[in-house]
Structure 1
Amino acid sequence: MLKPVVKTPCIGVCSTGIGDAVCRGCKRFSHEVIHWNGYTHEQKLAIDGRLADFLSRCVSNKLVVVDHALLRWQLQVQQVRHNADHDEYCQVFSLLKAGAGQIARSEDFGFSVNAEFRSLGLPRLRDLIDQEFYILSEAHYDRYMRTPDLFGGEGH
């Protein structure tokens, strides 16, 4: 039986080519970007799972999905490209990426913004979530991937 394809997380905004260890677009590590096509299905699933988990954490710290069916319906009606295998918080982020500026009432899309973040507005909230997603990915890279430089410079 064929395994479903794990789509590349690439969003076409790669910063690894300019020296970033973590891509500012998709949040993969530079070696993951370079070797993606050579990875096994299981390796791709592991990377995709890590990214989805990090994104979900960042989103769920700022808002709550209150109506899963409404969210799914809006994703379909608005024709928002998203990964149906990811949880509802990743799907809300897909919605925010596609049109945060066009959403007047988050409740009409199945989610509610936590009180302390409501004054930001959805475009700013989307950017804040994306920034935190990058920081979390970078921290993970620094903790588990970066090798110490034995010659006194910064490790890579």
Structure 2
Amino acid sequence: MFILDSRLMSRATTSLSSQNTIKTPCIGVCSTGIGDSVCRGCKRFSHEVIHWNGYSQDEKRFVDKRLSSFLSQACSHKCTVTDRALLQWQLDTQQVRYTAAHDEYCWLFQLLKAGAGQIRNPDKYGFRVHAPWNDLSLVALRDAIDEDFWILSTAHYDRYQATPDLFEQG
């Protein structure tokens, strides 16, 4: 097992009331303030960052679903969760903050964010790395997943937010 940096530790909250409330995905490194259309930290669009506090829970849930879907896709492309229960046990034991309503690939990314440099045997945490990425350190793998997550969010923004509807008649 590894010991996490106490600055990153916060026990998972899985009560029903916390699952119904969508918390801000902000991680404190917002790049929209310096001109990015998609935040390199949380991957929200600039207008979502600006208007987040005014969004209804349904609007927040819609954004959260998109973000968790993209993160899951980026993570599952490079890793497989082999034991969901073990992964969740490790998250709880290591006191890694995660959202219980998200899938196991989002959980895996939270584990990698908190302790990629300290994990020596992924099998003991309920996951394996796919062959093409086996040579990467888990820190480099985490960063590659994060980059893929940002690319997916940016592509979505470019297609559906920045580009006018190609079929709209003017």
TM-score, normalised by the number of residues in structure 1: 0.92
Equivalent in the alignment of 1:14: 30
* Displacement of 1:116: 1.0
Equivalent in the alignment of 1:153: none
Q: 5+ residue gaps in structure 1?
A: 149-156
Counterparts of residues 1-156 of structure 1 (less than 5 Å): 4-147=20-163
RMSD of the alignment, in Å?
1.2
Distance of 2:50 and 2:43 partners within structure 1: 13
3-state SS of 1:145 partner: helix
Higher relative contact order (CA 8 A, sep 6+): 2
Identity %: 63
The AA in structure 1 aligned to 2:47 is H
The AA in structure 1 aligned to 2:62 is A
1:69-118 deviations in Å (ceiling 9; x for gaps) = 10010000100011111000000000000010000000000001011111
Q: Which runs of 4+ in 1 moved over 2 A?
A: none
The AA in structure 1 aligned to 2:155 is A
TM-score, normalised by the number of residues in structure 2: 0.84
The AA in structure 1 aligned to 2:144 is L
The AA in structure 2 aligned to 1:101 is G
The AA in structure 1 aligned to 2:159 is R
Equivalent residue pairs, number? 147
The AA in structure 1 aligned to 2:65 is G
Equivalent in the alignment of 1:152: none
1:18-42 deviations in Å (ceiling 9; x for gaps) = 0100000000000000000101111
The AA in structure 2 aligned to 1:132 is D
Distance of 1:18 and 1:51 partners within structure 2: 21
1:111-153 deviations in Å (ceiling 9; x for gaps) = 01011111011000000000010011001000000146xxxxx
